């Protein structure tokens, strides 16, 4: 029989391999998968497979049931991503009814932080590109935080980060998602078709009625949601908004201990995190650097996006937290010091899914601008992830060593 290793050896080994072990826990795995997918897309787009990659996603389909969606990239961004937005909508509704956004006290600080975390990056972006520049249309690109990436980095840190900060980051990201959906609906919608908009309104009313009359089967909602998606697609509003609208109609009343909303969220969340978003990431993150030199890398668009993510996010979120706490308007996350809060604020500068999505809406007519936007998104996100991780890794401690206490500056 092999004797177990002595504790003085086991403990340092456990700590040394903690980041590796963290790759396989839920907080980190989705984020790590996205990192791998983004890297794979970049490699393929700059390899001998580049032409095949381009043809796969942007080549015209021989047959499509909806003529408007004539390539795979459109089906992914307008169709498959509706599932992602549906899951986001389910999560938002649950949090508003019985979660971390269900009371004014709980949502005060996250809502403030998310609003500042969207406004300041947008202002920095506009300042860099110039208010009269045609690039100003991309102002919302650095305003979004990628929840999977950010929570993935926190997951790599294990128990070093206080649980209150994990919850705070998750809640801010949820509110951020709400803001991003509203921005897409309000600012990236063109050529509205009133007839289809009316059809969408009627279908949405039908789904609200189904909720009111406590229809508790999944398949009727799915069928009607598909009709809603088609109506929104042809209305001029981006089709993914149908996912959010449909999610808001799913019943939250409980039967057999679980609501239909909770069952759907539980069932769809893994598919969204481990299939839908990675497919979207692989289809959108590939940038072919052929013909792209330092002039494009340092162009106003990627610099504005990177500055918004790296500087704007942390300044906006950390600044509003300090102000709210000092003024007594809100309480800071428990058991966390200011350096830890700053580190988490930097992690909100990781933008991927929503940022890539908005860049595609902002610059639909220019592949060069979309590629430049991708460079800014990936560069700014990488810098935010590395700086945030290093700060939290060096300044936080394991609970068994020294509890982290919040100290007002």
Question: What is the Cα–Cα distance from 112 to 91, expressed in whole angstroms?
Answer: 19
Place of tokens 């080549």: 59
How far apart (Å, rounded) are the C-alpha atoms in residues 223 and 130?
Answer: 46
Confidence band for 120, pLDDT divided at 50, 70 and 90: very high
Residue 53 lies in a domain: no
Instruction: Assess if residue 321 is contained within a domain.
Output: yes
Q: Is residue 382 part of a domain?
A: yes
- Structural domains in the chain (count): 1
User: The CATH number of the domain where 248 resides is what?
Assistant: 1.20.1530.10
Closest residue by Cα to residue 183 from 304, 347, 301, 357 = 357
Question: Which H or E run contains 173?
Answer: helix 163-187
Say if residues 92 and 177 touch (Cβ distance below 8 Å): yes
Question: How confident is the model over 126-150, as a mean pLDDT?
Answer: 90
**At 27, is the pLDDT very low, low, confident or very high (cuts 50, 70, 90)?**
low
pLDDT grade for 402, boundaries at 50, 70 and 90: very low
Is there a domain that residue 342 lies in? yes
SS3 label, residue 321: helix
Residues 363 and 373 sit within 8 Å (Cβ to Cβ): yes
Taking the model in full, what pTM does it have? 0.78
Distance in angstroms (rounded) separating the CA atoms of residues 276 and 59: 20
pLDDT digits (tens, 9 = 90+) for 305-351: 999 999 999 999 999 999 999 998 888 888 888 999 999 999 999 98
Does residue 18 lie in a domain region?
no
- pLDDT over threshold 80, residue 250: yes
Which helix or strand (DSSP H or E) is residue 259 part of? strand 258-259
In 3-state terms the chain splits into helix, strand, coil percentages (rounded to 5) of 70, 0, 25
**What value does the CA radius of gyration of the chain take, rounded to a whole number of Å?**
22
Q: Encode pLDDT of 33-81 as tens digits.
A: 888 898 899 999 999 999 999 999 999 999 999 988 999 999 998 999 9
Is there a domain that residue 115 lies in?
Answer: yes
Number of neighbours of residue 183 by Cβ within 10 angstroms:
19
Q: Which residues contact 201 (CB under 8 A, 6 or more apart)?
A: none
Say whether pLDDT at 299 is over 90. no
Is 117 within the bounds of a domain? yes
Please report whether residue 328 resides in a domain.
Answer: yes
In contact, 200 and 235? CB cutoff 8 Å: yes
Average pLDDT, the chain: 84
- Residue 279 belongs to domain spanning: 27-41+67-395
């Amino acid at each position: 029989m092999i004797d177990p290793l002595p504790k003085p050896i086991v403990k340092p080994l456990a700590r040394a391999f903690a980041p590796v072990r963290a790759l396989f826990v839920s907080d980190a795995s989705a984020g790590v998968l996205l990192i791998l997918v983004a890297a794979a897309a970049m490699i393929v787009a700059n390899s001998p497979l580049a032409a095949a990659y381009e043809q796969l996603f942007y080549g015209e389909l021989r047959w499509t049931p909806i003529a408007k969606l004539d390539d795979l990239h459109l089906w992914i961004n307008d169709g498959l991503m509706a599932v992602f937005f549906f899951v986001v909508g389910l999560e938002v509704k649950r949090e508003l009814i019985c979660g971390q956004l269900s009371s004014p006290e709980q949502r005060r600080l996250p809502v403030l932080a998310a609003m500042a975390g969207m406004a300041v990056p947008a202002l920095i972006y506009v300042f860099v590109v110039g208010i009269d520049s045609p690039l100003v249309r991309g102002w919302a690109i650095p305003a979004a935080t990628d929840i999977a990436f950010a929570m993935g980095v926190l997951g790599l840190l294990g128990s070093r980060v206080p649980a209150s900060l994990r919850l705070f980051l998750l809640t801010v990201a949820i509110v951020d998602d709400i803001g991003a959906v509203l921005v897409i609906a309000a600012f990236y919608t063109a050529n509205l078709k009133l007839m289809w908009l009316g059809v969408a309104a009627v279908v949405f009313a039908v789904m609200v009625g189904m909720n009111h009359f406590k229809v508790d089967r999944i398949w009727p909602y799915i069928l009607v949601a598909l009709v809603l998606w088609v109506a929104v697609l042809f209305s001029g509003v981006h089709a993914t908004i149908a996912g959010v609208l449909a999610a808001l109609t799913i019943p939250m009343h409980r039967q057999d201990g679980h609501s239909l909303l909770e069952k759907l969220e539980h069932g769809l969340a893994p598919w969204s995190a481990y299939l839908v978003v990675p497919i979207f990431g692989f289809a959108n993150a590939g940038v072919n650097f052929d013909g792209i030199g330092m002039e494009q890398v340092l162009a106003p668009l990627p610099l504005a996006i990177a500055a918004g993510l790296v500087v704007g996010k942390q300044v906006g979120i950390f600044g509003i937290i300090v102000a709210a706490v000092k003024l007594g308007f809100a309480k800071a996350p428990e058991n966390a010091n200011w350096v830890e809060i700053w580190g988490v604020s930097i992690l909100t500068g990781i933008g991927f899914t929503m940022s890539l999505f908005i860049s595609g809406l902002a610059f639909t007519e220019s592949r060069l601008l979309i590629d430049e936007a991708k460079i800014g998104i990936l560069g700014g996100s990488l810098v935010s992830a590395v700086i945030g991780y290093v700060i939290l890794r060096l300044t936080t401690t394991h609970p068994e060593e020294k509890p982290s206490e919040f100290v007002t500056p």
